[in-house]
Structure 1
Amino acid sequence: MPASPLRLGVNVDHVATLRNARAGRNPDPVRAALAAIAAGADGITAHLREDRRHIRDDDMARLKAEISKPLNFEMAATADMLAIALATMPHAVCLVPERREELTTEGGLDVVGQHDTLKPLIARLNDAGVRVSLFIAAEARQIEMAAELRAPVIEIHTGAWCDAVADGRAAKADAEWQRIVAGAALARSAGLEVHAGHGLDYVTAERIAGLPEIVELNIGYYMIGEALFVGLGETVRAMRAAMDRGRGNLGSPEPPSAGRAARDPKGRA
């Protein structure tokens, strides 16, 4: 079966992080979103956290009004966030775990343990015509519960794999990779659309693009960091090229070696 086209969602949260360091207006995450789309991004992701540490309410409203591509609204599964999402009406909502003290999202959403909270929230979003995604670990019980809850999409948390690759922990990287491979296959067999994200760089994005079940990658922090040196447009084009290389090598048996250096925008090691 041929692989589905692979979409790139660019997360602009950390453009807002930099803006908020001076409590001003610049750099503007909406401008960054427009630049990413102009360079080839298929969509924009933004996480409206409860503490508003980066993206703010007006950012979400402006993104919805001004961008020409789908808006993926990341949020905690709370009544307040549901109300904002229903007022904004983004293309998609991705439900994520959230703790005030964390630096970034530390793991997948526990959809098994939070079944009773998630079920009515997912139903409300489904009824409103907003596509629901659950940001979860590649674990069978979480994937099976996502399908039971009628969430049409899951996003596999790739952070543990990416960290192990970057740190040179080969055994850990291989174990996490096998979990992702198995989880993506299980999710697709359950009728779920499969996305992936967290911690991806050029190397890991190229590799995971080779999994035919995955149809979307959402990447932010690495790309915003790279953009400081080469510009956001060039970073988007380089990431798109890495994903296209990976998609062209479906079935490649070897995951990236732990500690392997990220490729440069020309594709060299």
Structure 2
Amino acid sequence: MLLGVNIDHIAVLREARKINDPNPLDALGVCKLANADQITIHLREDRRHIHDEDAKNIIKTSTLPVNLECSINEEIIDIVCKLKPQRATLVPENRQEVTTEGGLDLKTNYKKIQKAIKQLHENEIEVSLFIDPTKEMIELSSKLEVEWVELHTGTFANIYAMLYGNLSNTHHSIKELELSREVLKEKLDKSKKQIKKASNQAVKLDLKVAAGHGLNYQNVRQISKIKSISELNIGQSIIARSVFSGLYQAILDMKELIK
């Protein structure tokens, strides 16, 4: 199982004080030493964490492949084509969101996504689509002729946190998931089966499969057991642990869990 380490939250910490430290660029060597397989960053339209200069320096400097997450905004796609990361993962964006809330709606935005994919491919950039794990989204991804899909695991992660974590007892409790343990267990099982089914379907259609969003040291094993998934992209939980254990050890701990 490959691990892409998302280093956005190093930039989040920097932007909390609007200063130059910590610099996400400094994470590259540590990620390499800890045997991460990929660097993942998200160049958002609002530049709330990673900035253009960050993306430029990371792509230029990294000895690991760089997976650049971005919206389908034409200006952003133009920037990505100039930066030339190894892969671009197209994701939905809502400026009011705290983090990405779901997968791309390939049906509604088909033509615009198709145009973005064509432009990226013309610049020799691999394309991945961040999608919800449904049959329709997998089929449309295949039709769009991308190399990768990344399955959104956020729903699974939220259910897991409400069932096995302490989230329900905090002000971050998810109201629509304030359900009985029995119901949450059923929902979690259904979510895992949906992810596995979508992953298997994608592989049959010659798509490479990644997964990510909300994965952490408690829930990741349930997803890493799905053999048709070949890569996980994980950020916040790794950076959060690194505050206490250091980034090198935090990556090693995650690698151990998903091997």
Normalised by the length of structure 1, the TM-score is 0.87
The DSSP-based 3-state class of the residue aligned with 2:219 is: helix
> How far apart in 1 are the matches of 2:188 and 2:70?
28
In structure 1, the partner of 2:12 is 17
Question: Which amino acid letter does the alignment assign opposite residue 215 of structure 1?
Answer: S
- CA separation in 2, counterparts of 1:163 and 1:36? 27
2:115 matches 1:100: no
User: Which residue in 2 is equivalent to 1:219?
Assistant: 234
Offset of residue 33 of structure 1: 2.8
Deviation at 1:112, TM superposition (A): 1.3
1:129 is displaced (CA, Å) by: 1.2
Q: Match for 1:240: what amino acid?
A: K
Show the counterpart of 2:116: 121
Task: Give the one of 200, 214, 223 matched to 2:215.
Answer: 200
RMSD: 0.9
Structure 2 distance, partners of 1:214, 1:115, is 25
Match of 1:71 in 2: 66
Measured against aligned partners, the alpha-carbon deviations of 1:9-47 in whole angstroms (never above 9, x if no partner) come to: 000111001101111110111112321222111110000
Give the residue type in structure 2 aligned to 1:142.
M
TM-score normalised over the length of structure 2: 0.91
Q: Which residue of 2 aligns with 1:137?
A: 132
Pairing of 1:1-269 with structure 2 (within 5 A): 6-168=1-163, 169-244=184-259
Task: Tell me which amino acid in the other structure corresponds to 2:188.
Answer: A
- Structure 2's unaligned 5+ residue stretches are 164-183
The 10-residue stretch of structure 1 (129-138 or 119-128) with the greater mean CA deviation from structure 2: 119-128
| SS in structure 1 of the partner of residue 108 of structure 2 | coil
Letter in 1 for 2:96: E
SS in 1 for 2:39: strand
* Runs of 4+ that moved beyond 3 A: none
List gaps (5 residues or longer) in structure 1. 1-5, 245-269
How far residue 207 of structure 1 moved from its aligned partner, in angstroms, is 2.1
In 1, distance between residues paired with 2:208 and 2:110? Answer: 20
Residues 111-166 of structure 1, C-alpha deviations (whole Å, 9 max, x = no match) = 11110111111011112210000000001101100100111100000010011111
C-alpha displacement of 1:83: 0.8
Q: Aligned-pair distance for 1:212?
A: 1.3
2:176 aligned residue = none
> Which amino acid letter does the alignment assign opposite residue 45 of structure 2?
E
Amino acid at match of 1:23: K
CA distance in 2, matches of 1:187, 1:201: 24
Cα contact 1:203–1:242 (8 A) shared by 2? no
Q: Deviations over 1:180-225 (max 9, x none)?
A: 0110011111110000000001232222111111111000011111
